[in-house]
Amino acid sequence: MVKLGVIGVGSMGGAIVRGLLSSGQLQTEDILVFNRTRSRMRALEEQFPLSVAPNAATVAREANYLLLGVKPHMLTPLLDDLGDALAAKPIVVSVAAGKSLADIAAHLPAKTPIVRVMPNVNAQINQSISGIAANQYVSEKALGEVQEMFDAIGKTALVPEEKFAAFAALAGCSPAWIYRFIDALAQAGVAHGFTKTQATQIVAQAVAGSALNVLHNLPQGLNPQALVDQVCSPAGTTVAGLLAMEDAGFSVATRAAVNAAVARDQELSTS
């Protein structure tokens, strides 16, 4: 038996494995992996001497924790194909967006412990925020171990499953929106004489520092609006730009993006 089996070692599954091994939380002998396309694992295998199973069923039989890193449309066929390989009831951990605990349970033996996790793309640099929900068959010890695994690629938060769609928008979708925000600021910088690379580096560092400042100040009771007020001098440049952003619909557009992502997640979960 191995502690963790991973089926689907693409960008997300690979990031999780890399984070666990780089942090020292697990060793290569603790992990067994399988990916349908072996070439997708080449970079990971060059970095770590991983054990690679001949098929997905072998991983399911051998693992105490079974991480399903496949895309959402592949999850149900995979579970159905695994069949008897799941009889040992490993703790199943799914990162498939839009697939609820009930959806997954419908294709597993009765009373299988299941954990649903929503990481984000920043897992690639061990800076994810991962939402975690579990069914009633997952013990506190097992849930804690899953949290520890995902803490290796960032931070974790226990999230009631009914809030998973909102969490997916706030944490899973938002990196793309933040990337677009960074790019828009950088484009404005180009208009004022910077190269695109220079402008992007300046803005990205400003965004990174601002995010860290928010996290630093939250325990002291200073929310982001309080930090905005600190920066906005009366009749200054910052408040002028802020008012221009709001006149162009910045906050309204941001809330609309979250609402649209939540609505789409709910559509996908019922399709």
pLDDT band at 257 (very low <50, low <70, confident <90, very high): very high
**Residue 126, SS3?**
coil
Please provide residue 152's backbone torsions phi and psi, each rounded to the nearest 5 degrees.
Answer: -70, -15
**Residue 68, SS3?**
strand
- Report how far residue 114's alpha carbon sits from residue 135's, in angstroms, rounded to the nearest whole number: 6
- Report how far residue 77's alpha carbon sits from residue 46's, in angstroms, rounded to the nearest whole number: 30
**Which residue ranges does the chain devote to CATH 1.10.3730.10?**
166-269
Q: Residue 43 has what pLDDT?
A: 83
Q: Residue 205 has what pLDDT?
A: 98
Residue 122, pLDDT above cutoff 80: yes
Please provide residue 64's backbone torsions phi and psi, each rounded to the nearest 5 degrees.
Answer: -75, -40
Do the beta carbons of residue 28 and residue 51 sit within 8 Å? yes
Q: Which CATH class is domain 166-269?
A: mainly alpha
- Burial class from Cβ neighbours inside 10 Å (0-12, 13-18, 19+) for residue 101 reads buried
pLDDT band at 269 (very low <50, low <70, confident <90, very high): confident
The H or E element containing residue 3 is strand 2-7
Do the beta carbons of residue 92 and residue 106 sit within 8 Å? no
pLDDT tens-digit series, residues 144-167: 999 999 998 899 999 999 999 999
pLDDT tens-digit series, residues 81-120: 998 899 888 999 999 888 899 999 999 999 999 999 999 9
> How far, CA to CA in Å, does 51 sit from each of 120, 127, 169, 179, 223?
26, 26, 35, 35, 46
pLDDT tens-digit series, residues 63-75: 999 999 998 889 9
pLDDT band at 15 (very low <50, low <70, confident <90, very high): confident
Q: Which CATH class is domain 2-159?
A: alpha beta
Q: Residue 176 has what pLDDT?
A: 95
Average model confidence (pLDDT) across the chain: 93
Neighbours of 183 (CB within 10 A): 15
pLDDT tens-digit series, residues 25-83: 899 999 999 998 887 788 888 889 999 999 999 999 999 999 999 988 899 999 999 98
Rg for the chain, CA atoms, rounded: 21
Do the beta carbons of residue 167 and residue 98 sit within 8 Å? no
Quote the DSSP letter at residue 107.
Answer: T
**Which residue ranges does the chain devote to CATH 3.40.50.720?**
2-159
pLDDT band at 267 (very low <50, low <70, confident <90, very high): confident
Model's pTM, two decimal places? 0.88
**Residue 91, SS3?**
strand
For the CA atoms of 64, 27, 69, 147, the dihedral, rounded to the nearest 10 degrees, stands at 70
Do the beta carbons of residue 131 and residue 154 sit within 8 Å? no
pLDDT-above-70 percentage for the chain: 99
Q: What average pLDDT does this structure show over 126-133?
A: 95
Q: What average pLDDT does this structure show over 179-201?
A: 98
Q: Which of 136, 78, 74, 82 is nearest to 109 (CA)?
A: 82
